[in-house]
């Protein structure tokens, strides 16, 4: 007879968060200009101007865009800095 397993955050789950398994999402708003968003992505996420422009257009058209992939620890400072600039971001797995 097989016992059912309950899912809890194991060391393996935490290791996944520390790997490249997370995404930093940027959401659209009606407040910030394209130039403001582009500058923030270049300064904080180290995007090229071309990458930042493409992300800004995707966010504008689709409402959100994955702007960076990486570990939770890598993305957290970028997430915090973008929030400090009043941009809406989220880290997801």
- pLDDT tens for each residue of 19-51: 679 999 999 999 999 999 999 999 999 999 999
Which DSSP helix (H) or strand (E) runs through 25? strand 22-27
What are the tokens at 51? 């990458």
> Could you tell me which residues come within 8 angstroms of residue 49 by beta carbon, excluding any fewer than 6 positions away?
38, 42
Q: How confident is the model at residue 83 (pLDDT cuts 50, 70, 90)?
A: very high
Where do the domains of the chain lie, and which CATH numbers do they carry? 19-92 (3.30.1390.10)
Handedness of CA 36, 28, 92, 47 (dihedral sign): negative
- Helical spans, DSSP H, in 1-93: 11-18, 34-45, 49-62, 72-84
Average pLDDT over residues 7-25: 64
Q: How many C-beta atoms surround the C-beta of residue 76 within 10 A?
A: 14
Which has the higher per-residue pLDDT, 10 or 27? 27
Position 3 pLDDT exceeds 50: no
pTM for this one?
Answer: 0.79
Average pLDDT over residues 67-91: 98
Ranking 19-28, 50-59, 77-86 by mean pLDDT, the lowest is: 19-28
């Amino acid at each position: 007879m097989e016992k059912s397993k309950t899912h809890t955050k194991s060391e393996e789950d935490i290791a996944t968060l520390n790997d490249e398994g997370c995404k930093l999402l940027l959401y659209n708003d009606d407040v910030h200009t394209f130039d403001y968003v582009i500058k923030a992505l270049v300064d904080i996420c180290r995007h090229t101007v071309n990458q930042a422009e493409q992300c800004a257009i995707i966010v504008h058209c689709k409402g959100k865009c994955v702007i960076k992939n990486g570990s939770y620890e890598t993305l957290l400072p970028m997430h915090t800095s973008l929030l400090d600039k009043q941009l809406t971001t989220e880290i997801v797995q």
